[in-house]
A and B are shown apart, each in its own frame.
Chain A
C-alpha cells in the first residue's frame, strides 16, 4: 500500500478494463515521473471525450453531435441496416469500405451470465427505426460466438413478421490462409455453410 494520493490513483486505474493491480501501479508511477504538461493534456483529453462525445440518438454509435457521421452522411443507403454489438464493430466494418448502408449498435449481446437480457439492448429503438425508415434488408452482424448467435436468433425471430430481408454474416475460412492450417471446427463450419457455385 502506498500513501493517500498515489494509492487512490492506483485504485482508480485498476478499475479500467484490462488493467490489473501491477499495470495500475506501473501507470501510476509513470504518471508521477511525467512532465506536468503531458499529464494536463491527458486530463483535458479525457474531459473532452466525456463532454463532447455522446452516443448517436439514431443508431447508438459514438458521435460528436446528436447524430454520428454515418447517420449524417446523405450518400449512404437507407435501404440496408447493419446490426452490430458495439461501436467498435462499426469501425471494423467501415474499414472494409464495402458497406454503404447504415448501422444500428445494440450495446452488447444477450448474455444471461452477465445479467444482460433483450431489454437491456437497444432493440426497441431498432424496431422503431424499421417502422419509420425505408429499410429493406437487415444484416445481423453480431459476433460468431454463442452470445452473438443467440442475439441474432432472437432478432431474426422478432423481425420475421415485418417482412424484411434478414441476413446473417457468413462464418468460415479466413481469406488469404491455407486450407491445411484451418482448425477442424472452423473448417467444419465452412463445410456446413458452403454455397453453390454453378
Chain B
C-alpha cells in the first residue's frame, strides 16, 4: 500500500495544501509549530476517521471555517483509490471514493497506518488505561466484531456501577444485580479471550523489535496483567472457563463492591505488564529503555499485522509507517537501529524539527514545512 498524494483543505492550520509523496521514504522537516504533525494527523484521520489528538472533529477544521476536508490517493493492489472525507461542523461528515459519494464508514480502513509519536511514551510510563486502549485497538484490528463487544461491555460496567452505587449500604437486597454479573462475565470473557490471544501473538514480535533497537542485551517481555486469574482457564480451552472465573471473582468481591459502590472485577481493571530484564518497565525503566520499549510495541504491532496470515500480510496490505518527531528522543544507536528497521517498510513518513536528527541512511525525499507551505528540498 502506498499513499501517493495527500491534500488538505481547511484542515487544521492549512487552507490548501497538496503533497505528492514519492515512493519509499519521505521526511517532513520544519520548526516546532510549523504544522508537521497536522499533516500526520490528516493522514491518520483519513485512515481511521478519528484523531489521536482530539475527540471531536470540530477542532480539525481551520479556525473560522465551517468545513474542512482531507483527500488522499492510495495505490493498492494495482489500483488507484482516491478517498476523501469532508468534516462538517454541526453536520454529518461526508465521504467520497473515486469521486462517488459513499458512507464515511466505507472508506475507513482503506488507508492503513501505524503511527509512532512522542505521546507513545505513555504506553510505557502512563496509566493502565492507555495500554488497555492500545491492546483493544489491536484486538479490533485482528477481529472487528470485538468493537461491538467492547462498546457493550463499557455500557454494562456503567449500568452495573450505577446499580452498585444505588445499592450501597442496603443490606442484602440484590435487585437484579445477578443479570448484570452475567452480562459482565459473558462480554468480559470475550474481551479477555481476544486480549490474551493478541498479547501472545504480539510477544515474539515485540521482543525481537526490542532486541533490535536496544543494544544492551536486556530482554523485553510483556504479559497480560489480569485482575482475575484467567490464563489457566484460557489454556484449559473450556468454553465457559473464563466466564466462570469471572463469576467466581464477582461472587468473592461482591461485598466489597457493594460497600464501595464500584465495579471492581473485569477486564476494565486490567493492564498490560511490560518488563525489561526482570523489572517492570513502569517505574523502573530508564528514559532510553522506556523509549525502546514504546518503539518495540509499535514496531512489533506493525510486524504482527504484516506477518504472513496477519490482516495486512502481502505486499499491498502493508500499512504506511509514520514516525512523528521521534528521532530527536533517541540516542545514536537507537536512531540507527530504528532507521534500519524502518527502511524495510514499503512507505515511511518521518517528521523532524532538525535535519541532523534524522539518520542520513534513511535517504528518500525531504520536504520543508514552513508557514502553511510545503516545498521539496533539493
Interface set of A (CB-CB < 8 Å, partner B): 110-113, 115, 117-119, 146-147, 149-150, 153-154, 157, 183-185, 187-189
Contact = CB atoms under 8 A, between A and B. Distances in A.
Given A113-B158, A117-B175, A146-B156, A185 B166 contact: no
Complex A-B, nearest 6 residue pairs according to Cβ-Cβ distance, in ascending order: A185-B148, A188-B145, A112-B163, A184-B144, A112-B162, A113-B162
Contacts of A113: 158-159, 162
Given A117-B175, A153-B183, A154-B176, A185 B162 contact: no
A188 B152 contact: no
A184 B144 CA distance: 6
B166 A115 contact: yes
A146 B155 contact: yes
B75 interface: no
Interface in B151-206: 152, 155-156, 158-160, 162-163, 166, 175-176, 178-180, 182-183
In which size bucket is the chain B interface?
A: 20 to 34
B147 interface: yes
A185 B153 CA distance: 14
A185 B145 CA distance: 5
A113 B177 CA distance: 13
Question: Which label, helix, strand, loop or mixed, suits the secondary structure of the B interface?
Answer: helix
A6 B186 CA distance: 53
A185 B105 CA distance: 13
Contact of A184 (B147, B152, B176): B147
B184 to A, nearest CB: 11
Nearest to A119: B175
B179 A147 contact: no
A110 B180 CA distance: 10
Contacts of B176: 110, 117-118, 150, 154
Contacts of A149: 183
A187 B160 CA distance: 27
Given A146-B155, A153-B182, A187-B145, 14 more contacts: A112-B163, A113-B159, A115-B166, A117-B176, A118-B176, A146-B156, A150-B176, A150-B179, A150-B180, A184-B144, A184-B145, A184-B148, A185-B144, A188-B148
Contacts of B156: 146
A147 B183 contact: no
Contact of A150 (B144, B147, B183): B183
A146 B148 CA distance: 11
Contacts of B148: 184-185, 188-189
A110 B159 CA distance: 9
Among the interface residues A149, A150, A157, A187, which one has the most CB atoms of the partner chain B within 10 A? A150
A138 B179 CA distance: 19
A56 to B, nearest CB: 26
A153 B159 CA distance: 15
A183 B145 CA distance: 9
A132 to B, nearest CB: 25
Contacts of A154: 176, 179
B106 to A, nearest CB: 8
Contacts of B183: 146, 149-150, 153
18 contacts: A111-B159, A112-B162, A112-B180, A113-B158, A117-B166, A117-B175, A146-B155, A146-B156, A146-B183, A149-B183, A150-B183, A153-B179, A153-B182, A154-B176, A157-B179, A184-B147, A185-B145, A185-B148
A149 to B, nearest CB: 7
A154 B177 CA distance: 10
A115 B182 CA distance: 20
A128 B156 CA distance: 30
B147 A185 contact: yes
Given A184-B144, A184-B145, A189-B148, A112 B159 contact: yes
A112 B160 contact: yes
A14 B360 CA distance: 65
Nearest to B154: A146
Nearest to B180: A150
A127 B178 CA distance: 20
A32 B354 CA distance: 67
Among the interface residues B175, B176, B182, which one has the most CB atoms of the partner chain A within 10 A? B176
A157 B152 CA distance: 21
Nearest to A113: B162
Nearest to A117: B175
A152 to B, nearest CB: 9
Among the interface residues A146, A154, A185, A187, which one has the most CB atoms of the partner chain B within 10 A? A146
A118 B178 CA distance: 12
Interface in B84-133: 105
A110 B144 CA distance: 29
Given A110-B176, A110-B179, A146 B145 contact: no
Contacts of B147: 184-185
